[in-house]
């Protein structure tokens, strides 16, 4: 009779657990961290056996028998252990957790008072890999790769011209990419804000400014053209002006070049103001005889 009050106390404990929501736990853990799944248990009840099951045909089964004081596992990795002593607190520990551990788990407690079930849902969170780049057309690209759940991307300063796309991977992760253009803007930098349950990240990027550099390129190009044209015209007029006064000093090279070429369609560039008679060779008079003129 001394143990009779223990039975209503145990039943009351489990009823309170159901009302408070402890019969169904939702656990969210970041990948690589420790996941602990609770199993409410009244220490005043004599525990015979506790079994953890993952809801699938070939998934993990982790059990403890108090009479043998031993733990058995089936299809469970070494990452699955007890958080504490199973006869006092049969909480399940998974460390480090990965995406393959995600799912629904059931804790079944067998005691002298009966069997009791408790369920837990484990969600694994994967932080995305965030990058921010730009191309030559001044389009900024913010990418949150392989995140779970999908990350939210926003821009600072805000713009209504951004576009997004998503890629869903077989592992359950999602890659989200956001594009924003600043072609007609004078802003020198943009900031990408990535919001995710694992962590929020902010990246800033300096954008190239072709609009501010273009006038300098144009001015430099025009100055070069003007300089080259001016030097060319100067040399041409200088050569022509000096050709009448000092041809040998300034324009001999040009005249020699013209004389070496057979420009039949061009007039001769040599001076023709003085024409000297041809010099006859003395060979013409070698056979001349004055007597022959009277014959």
Residues 136 and 102 in one domain: no
Question: Does any domain span residue 281?
Answer: no
Residues 39 and 76 in one domain: yes
Find, among 252, 235, 234, the residue nearest to 243 by Cα: 252
Average the pLDDT over 4-32 and give the result.
60
Which of 125, 141, 161 is the last residue in one of the domains? 125
Residues 14 and 112 in one domain: yes
pLDDT in tens, 252-294: 444 454 454 554 444 444 444 544 555 544 444 455 455 444 4
The CA distance from 218 to 207, in Å, is 21
Q: Which domain holds residue 185?
A: 129-208
The CA distance from 246 to 252, in Å, is 9
Question: Does any domain span residue 286?
Answer: no
What separation in angstroms does the CA of 175 have from each of 118, 149, 181, 202? 35, 9, 20, 17
C-beta separation of 79 from 85 below 8 A: no
Residue 149: asked if its preceding bond is cis (omega within 30°), the reply is yes
Q: Where are the beta strands (DSSP E) in the chain?
A: 24-30, 35-37, 47-54, 61-65, 70-74, 80-82, 92-94, 103-111, 114-125, 129-134, 139-147, 152-156, 163-168, 174-181, 189-195, 201-206
40 or 52, higher pLDDT: 52
Residues 223 and 187 in one domain: no
Question: Does any domain span residue 56?
Answer: yes
Helix (H/G/I), strand (E/B), else coil: 188: coil
Question: Does any domain span residue 230?
Answer: yes
C-beta separation of 17 from 23 below 8 A: yes
pLDDT in tens, 185-226: 788 899 999 999 999 999 999 887 654 444 444 455 555 555
Q: What total of structural domains would you count in the chain?
A: 3
For position 184, what pLDDT does the model report? Answer: 73
Question: Does any domain span residue 172?
Answer: yes
For position 44, what pLDDT does the model report? Answer: 66
Residues 225 and 166 in one domain: no
Residues 143 and 227 in one domain: no
The CA distance from 265 to 258, in Å, is 12
Residues 110 and 146 in one domain: no
Which of 125, 143, 166 is the last residue in one of the domains? 125
Which CATH number fits the domain that encloses residue 39?
A: 2.60.40.10
Residues 32 and 99 in one domain: yes
Residues 16 and 112 in one domain: yes
pLDDT in tens, 54-77: 988 688 999 999 999 999 999 999
- Write down the pTM of the prediction: 0.62
Residues 204 and 215 in one domain: no
């Amino acid at each position: 009779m001394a143990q009779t009050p223990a039975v209503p106390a145990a039943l009351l404990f489990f009823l309170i657990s159901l009302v408070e929501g402890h019969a169904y736990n939702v656990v969210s853990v970041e990948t690589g961290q420790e996941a602990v799944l609770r199993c409410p248990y009244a220490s005043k009840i004599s525990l015979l056996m506790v079994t953890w099951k993952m809801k699938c045909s070939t998934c993990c089964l982790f059990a403890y028998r108090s009479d043998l004081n031993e733990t058995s596992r089936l299809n469970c990795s070494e990452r699955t252990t007890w958080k504490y002593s199973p006869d006092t607190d049969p909480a399940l520990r998974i460390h480090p957790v990965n995406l393959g551990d995600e799912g629904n788990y059931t804790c079944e407690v067998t005691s002298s008072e009966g069997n009791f079930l408790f369920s837990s849902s484990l969600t694994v969170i994967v932080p995305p890999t965030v990058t921010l780049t730009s191309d030559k057309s001044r389009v900024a690209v913010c990418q949150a790769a392989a995140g779970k759940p999908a990350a939210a991307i926003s821009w600072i300063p805000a713009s209504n011209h951004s576009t997004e796309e998503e890629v869903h991977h077989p592992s359950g992760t999602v890659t989200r990419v956001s594009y924003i253009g600043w072609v007609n803007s004078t802003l020198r930098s943009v900031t990408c804000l990535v919001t995710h349950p694992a962590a929020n990240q902010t990246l800033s990027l300096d954008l190239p400014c072709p609009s501010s550099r273009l006038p300098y390129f144009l001015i430099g190009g025009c100055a070069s053209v003007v300089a080259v044209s001016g030097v060319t015209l100067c040399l041409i007029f200088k050569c022509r002006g000096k050709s009448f006064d000092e041809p040998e000093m300034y324009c001999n090279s040009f005249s020699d070049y013209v004389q070496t070429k057979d420009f039949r369609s061009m007039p001769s560039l040599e001076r023709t103001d003085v024409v000297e008679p041809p010099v006859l060779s003395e060979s013409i008079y070698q056979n001349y005889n004055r007597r022959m003129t009277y014959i």
